[in-house]
Amino acid sequence: MRKIEVVQNILDANNATAESNRVTLDSHKCAAINVMAAPGAGKTSFILRTLDLLRPGIRVGVIEGDVASTVDAEKVQNAADAIVQINTRYMPESCALVADMVDEALKKLPLAELDLIIIENVGNLICPSEFNLGEDRKIVIASTPEGDDKPLKYPMIFSDADAIIINKIDLVPYVDFDIAKFKSSVRDLNATVPFFEVSSKTGTGMAEWIQWLRQQLPGK
CA distances from 52 to 46, 75, 81, 171, 207 (A): 10, 13, 11, 22, 11
The answer to whether the beta carbons of residues 119 and 97 sit under 8 Å apart is yes
pLDDT at res. 146:
96
d(CA 1, CA 169): 45
Burial class (CB in 10 A: 0-12, 13-18, 19+), 186: buried
Look up the pTM and report it: 0.93
Cα 71 off chain centre by: 17
Q: What is the DSSP letter of 205?
A: T
d(CA 181, CA 166): 13
Lowest mean pLDDT among 43-47, 93-97, 154-158, 191-195: 93-97
Domain boundaries in the chain? Answer: 2-215
**Span 119-131, pLDDT tens digits:** 999 999 999 998 9
CB atoms within 10 A of CB 63: 28
CB atoms within 10 A of CB 48: 19
For residue 165, which of 130, 124, 209 has the smallest C-alpha distance? 209
Burial class (CB in 10 A: 0-12, 13-18, 19+), 53: middle
23 has pLDDT over 60: yes
d(CA 188, CA 61): 34
The answer to whether the beta carbons of residues 61 and 110 sit under 8 Å apart is yes
> Is CATH 3.40.50.300 the right assignment for the domain spanning 2-215?
yes
pLDDT confidence bin for 6, thresholds 50/70/90: very low
- When pLDDT is averaged across residues 2-29 and rounded to a whole number, the result is 82
Burial class (CB in 10 A: 0-12, 13-18, 19+), 147: middle
**Span 52-98, pLDDT tens digits:** 999 889 999 999 998 887 788 899 889 999 999 998 876 656 789 99
Q: Which residue(s) pair with 61 in the sheet?
A: 82, 117
Strands 31-37, 60-66: pairing kind = unpaired
More confident residue, 169 or 56: 169
**Span 186-213, pLDDT tens digits:** 999 999 999 999 999 999 999 999 999 9
